[in-house]
Chain A
């Protein structure tokens, strides 16, 4: 996760409280999604950014997880997301993020 986004997440967690922030990922690659999820829960695994050694334990989800899809307006989903749902490995993306969440998120939706 780039350094600016790491800082944005720290800022949001400080401003609203870690219990009031949910991280919603839209990344296209399961390995990358897992790394992002790790970054906002355990901390930056590359030790390069502001989240190095900072375990926020935020609840983290991928947009293709069923719980999130169920919350979305179906019309907008069809207009903006349905196409990528066919292109990407949604099960792997959801699984990769869920695994990190189950292990390291302190709160869940």
Chain B
């Protein structure tokens, strides 16, 4: 079966604490219900500033400025043991500050919904002019700005939401419809934030891959937002809207949703489109989830712990036909959490790990690293959710014991050898296995790693349409060295033998 190559990977963060303070679901609901609560009053005091976010080891690992091994050796707690020097740009992407991100929101808005104050817009334009992946075509979409009085009128009288920087109102996001709740200012802001993150990741990817926008054939978008209107809430297609901003005039796309399992499902979809020849290349990408900023901050504030959920996460992966050199997504041994598989952790791990291993004829130890859910532990531990990546590795190790491939006493060693430390923000879709794909592809390409398994899991029950959860997984490994479209030695031999047999038959007949 042909596979698809992982040609390039990009991971970006947008440090957006002020958007989070205002519009993250947890603080936003608190402001609505208990505007005078001590939690809301104290939260700003626990925010990590941008200067620290660009020295925060998990962030640097996410953007490829640190390796996973370096993160493992980095002293804990990471939030108070910052890297010695700030790094904005890593080999996979960047950590963008909030003012530039507001500029990017404006760039991504094609319906005059984002208004930035004139002097702020000018200040942001100056900064974005120097940005390495935003070219003149993209920058000309940045509007000239509006008078602050007009912005205040929109906020006061027309349900627009204020946008802040350094504690000041610097713009607003307007509603797109007077009665349609799916086009309210809040929903539009969430959707534009997701779109902007996707655009940033796509622009980085095009530059990194040395690809012209016009060469992109198809995009599969897998973020957390459902864009639409009141007659079709999840209408889509964010993928195409992202492609438009990046100038991918020959591309189209579609959106894939499955809660946190969406990125793995999207990568399998994209890889299948490429491997089948249906699309020449596919970019799988997602922007961040604004509602999840400061999601666990109530526990963080209560425990006087830094509220670290301050970054929108995005990623983009370029999939091309297997060229015999780049690492591939194996399509012959996919994991699938089927409807009848059962809901217990053991049933889920069996479906997502054991079944694909069996299909591929592999043992548990044949996979160097298992990347399931990669949340940063010092975000989840104070919130009572445990060390999620470690828990996943323990479950896989215990399943190996159940299947007779590991001694029970060796669980700890298996976890440290085959598990991963978490370095992804609690953005839902972002932590789900996919942040490791870049590190894995590089390690496989350099020969430091043979194989990784990427595992996504999604809480479908949150939508109240089913009590089920979902999951999908795939193996990443080196290409077998035979590009799609080429013939193997055996196939050539068979063709020659057939031709000779036919010739002999013809000669005999003569």
Q: A residues within 8 Å of B by Cβ?
A: 28-29, 31-32, 78-84, 86-87
Q: B residues within 8 Å of A by Cβ?
A: 342, 344-347, 349, 384, 386, 391, 394-395, 398-399, 401-402, 408, 411
B402 to chain A: which residues have CB within 8 Å? 78, 82-83, 86
A28 to chain B: which residues have CB within 8 Å? 386, 391
Contact check, A80 vs B342: say whether CB atoms are below 8 A apart.
yes
A87 to chain B: which residues have CB within 8 Å? 345, 391, 394-395, 398
Contact check, B398 vs A83: say whether CB atoms are below 8 A apart.
yes
User: How long is the Cα–Cα vector from A84 to B346 in the complex, in angstroms?
Assistant: 7
Closest to A82 in B: B402
Which of the listed residues A28, A78, A82, A87 has the most CB atoms from chain B within 10 Å of its own CB? A87
B344 to chain A: which residues have CB within 8 Å? 80-81, 84
B345 to chain A: which residues have CB within 8 Å? 83-84, 87
Contact sample, A vs B, 11 pairs, CB 8 Å cutoff: A32-B384, A81-B346, A82-B346, A83-B346, A83-B398, A83-B401, A84-B398, A86-B398, A86-B401, A87-B394, A87-B398
Task: Kindly list 16 other residue pairs between chains A and B, CB separation below 8 angstroms, not including A81-B346, A83-B401.
Answer: A29-B386, A31-B384, A32-B384, A79-B346, A79-B347, A80-B342, A80-B347, A82-B346, A82-B402, A83-B349, A83-B398, A84-B346, A86-B398, A86-B402, A86-B408, A87-B398
User: How long is the Cα–Cα vector from A31 to B299 in the complex, in angstroms?
Assistant: 15
CB < 8 Å A-B pair total: 40
B349 to chain A: which residues have CB within 8 Å? 83
User: How long is the Cα–Cα vector from A69 to B349 in the complex, in angstroms?
Assistant: 21
A82 to chain B: which residues have CB within 8 Å? 346, 402
User: How long is the Cα–Cα vector from A79 to B398 in the complex, in angstroms?
Assistant: 13
A79 to chain B: which residues have CB within 8 Å? 346-347
User: How long is the Cα–Cα vector from A87 to B391 in the complex, in angstroms?
Assistant: 8
A78 to chain B: which residues have CB within 8 Å? 402
Q: Is the interface of B mostly helix, strand, loop or mixed?
A: helix
B401 to chain A: which residues have CB within 8 Å? 83, 86
A83 to chain B: which residues have CB within 8 Å? 345-346, 349, 395, 398-399, 401-402
Closest to A31 in B: B384
A29 to chain B: which residues have CB within 8 Å? 384, 386
Contact check, A80 vs B346: say whether CB atoms are below 8 A apart.
yes
User: How long is the Cα–Cα vector from A34 to B346 in the complex, in angstroms?
Assistant: 23
User: How long is the Cα–Cα vector from A81 to B398 in the complex, in angstroms?
Assistant: 11
Closest to A26 in B: B344
Which of the listed residues A31, A78, A83 has the most CB atoms from chain B within 10 Å of its own CB? A83
User: How long is the Cα–Cα vector from A79 to B348 in the complex, in angstroms?
Assistant: 11
Which of the listed residues B344, B347, B411 has the most CB atoms from chain A within 10 Å of its own CB? B344
A31 to chain B: which residues have CB within 8 Å? 384
From residue A51, how far is it (CB to closest CB) to chain B in Å?
A: 19
From residue B335, how far is it (CB to closest CB) to chain A in Å?
A: 16
From residue A109, how far is it (CB to closest CB) to chain B in Å?
A: 23
User: How long is the Cα–Cα vector from A83 to B344 in the complex, in angstroms?
Assistant: 10
From residue A79, how far is it (CB to closest CB) to chain B in Å?
A: 7
From residue B370, how far is it (CB to closest CB) to chain A in Å?
A: 14
User: How long is the Cα–Cα vector from A82 to B402 in the complex, in angstroms?
Assistant: 8
Contacts A79-B346, A80-B347, A81-B346; A86 near B384 (Cβ below 8 A): no
User: How long is the Cα–Cα vector from A87 to B401 in the complex, in angstroms?
Assistant: 11
From residue A68, how far is it (CB to closest CB) to chain B in Å?
A: 15
Closest to B342 in A: A80
B346 to chain A: which residues have CB within 8 Å? 79-84
B398 to chain A: which residues have CB within 8 Å? 83-84, 86-87
User: How long is the Cα–Cα vector from A33 to B146 in the complex, in angstroms?
Assistant: 54
Closest to B408 in A: A86
User: How long is the Cα–Cα vector from A86 to B394 in the complex, in angstroms?
Assistant: 9
Per CB-CB distance, the 8 closest pairs between chain A and chain B, nearest first, are A86-B398, A83-B346, A80-B344, A83-B398, A87-B394, A87-B398, A83-B399, A83-B402
User: How long is the Cα–Cα vector from A79 to B351 in the complex, in angstroms?
Assistant: 12
Which of the listed residues A79, A81, A86 has the most CB atoms from chain B within 10 Å of its own CB? A86
Closest to B346 in A: A83
Which of the listed residues B345, B384, B394, B411 has the most CB atoms from chain A within 10 Å of its own CB? B345
Closest to A78 in B: B402
A81 to chain B: which residues have CB within 8 Å? 344, 346
Which of the listed residues B347, B391, B398 has the most CB atoms from chain A within 10 Å of its own CB? B398
B386 to chain A: which residues have CB within 8 Å? 28-29
Closest to B411 in A: A86
User: How long is the Cα–Cα vector from A79 to B347 in the complex, in angstroms?
Assistant: 7
Contact check, B395 vs A84: say whether CB atoms are below 8 A apart.
yes
User: How long is the Cα–Cα vector from A19 to B327 in the complex, in angstroms?
Assistant: 60
From residue B462, how far is it (CB to closest CB) to chain A in Å?
A: 12
From residue B398, how far is it (CB to closest CB) to chain A in Å?
A: 4
From residue B459, how far is it (CB to closest CB) to chain A in Å?
A: 13
User: How long is the Cα–Cα vector from A28 to B411 in the complex, in angstroms?
Assistant: 18
